[in-house]
Amino acid sequence: MKQTLRYDQLSCRLQVEGLPDVSAGQPDDAVGIITSWTLDWAGRPQLEGRKEHLVALMQVVMPYARHRISGVARRFGDASQPVDIGPAEAGEGHLLMLRSSQSDTPPLQIGLDDAELSDLVRVLDLLRMDPRLQLPLAIPVSRPLKLRDVLERTPLPQRLAAPLGGALVLALATAFALMLPQPKRLQTQPTSPAPSAQPQAPGGQVPGARP
């Protein structure tokens, strides 16, 4: 029995069709095998594909949203993958690039604003957390970012300002210290020997002293 899962947001609608995996004992309303999916955008071409394409979309969009919530804008996916997403080069927004497996089909670029990205993330969240979808999807889980990733959100000049400033101050302090004249060595003047009560033994040796 074919099942249809549908998730709606203002700018997009995700529809997933599939069948329960009867061999795994899934109930009739479950989806254990995805046969097809479609993503309808308001005023944009419809996206459709197989399970692999949906997983590829989720594999780049979910980590991208995870980084965006921390204020880190970096690209996910590359030319070898069917989907990639990154910040738009000109101005605000995001650029979703979809590559067809057919060689004669050019890649499709979709520009999204922040609201459309949020809508997309919400429909993908609804799908992956739907208890009716009884299918493991290889999607990276959200984890805290490492320091290296977090530093990316700070512009390079701002990041380098503190260490460069410190190095400059150290260099100036060293140069200043080297320019200071060295203190003159104190010359010890010979002092007249104090008059002693005992006459010194001949040869300058103290009587009774052992060699």
Partner 1 sequence: MPHDSPSLEISLRLPRRGIERLDLLLLSVEALDLNGGEAMVWMSEQMGFTDRFPNRVELWKSRCHNPLRRTTRRGELAAADGDALIRILCALADRLYPVLRGLLSQAEAPEVLVQRWALFQSRLSELVKERMNPRRGGVQKYLNPETCVAECRQLVQSLALASGAGGFERLKASLLDAGS
- Strand, helix or coil at 33? strand
Tokens, residue 10? 């203002």
End-to-end CA distance of the chain: 115
> Rounded to the nearest 10 degrees, how much is the dihedral formed by the CA atoms of 114, 119, 120, 126?
140
User: Pattern of binders to partner 1 over 122-161, x per CB under 8 A?
Assistant: x--xx-xx-----------xxxxxxx-xxx----------
68: contact with partner 1 by CB under 8 A: yes
Task: Confirm if 124 and 96 have CB atoms less than 8 A apart.
Answer: no
CB of residue 94 to partner 1, shortest distance in Å: 11
**Which of 16-24, 49-57, 110-118, 182-190 is the region at the interface with partner 1 (rule: CB under 8 A)?**
110-118
> If DSSP codes are grouped into helix, strand and coil, which group holds residue 126?
helix
CB of 90 to partner 1, least distance (A): 13
Residues near partner 1 (CB under 8 A), total: 32
Binding site for partner 1 (CB under 8 A): 10, 62, 65-66, 68-71, 92-93, 113-116, 118-119, 121-122, 125-126, 128-129, 141-147, 149-151
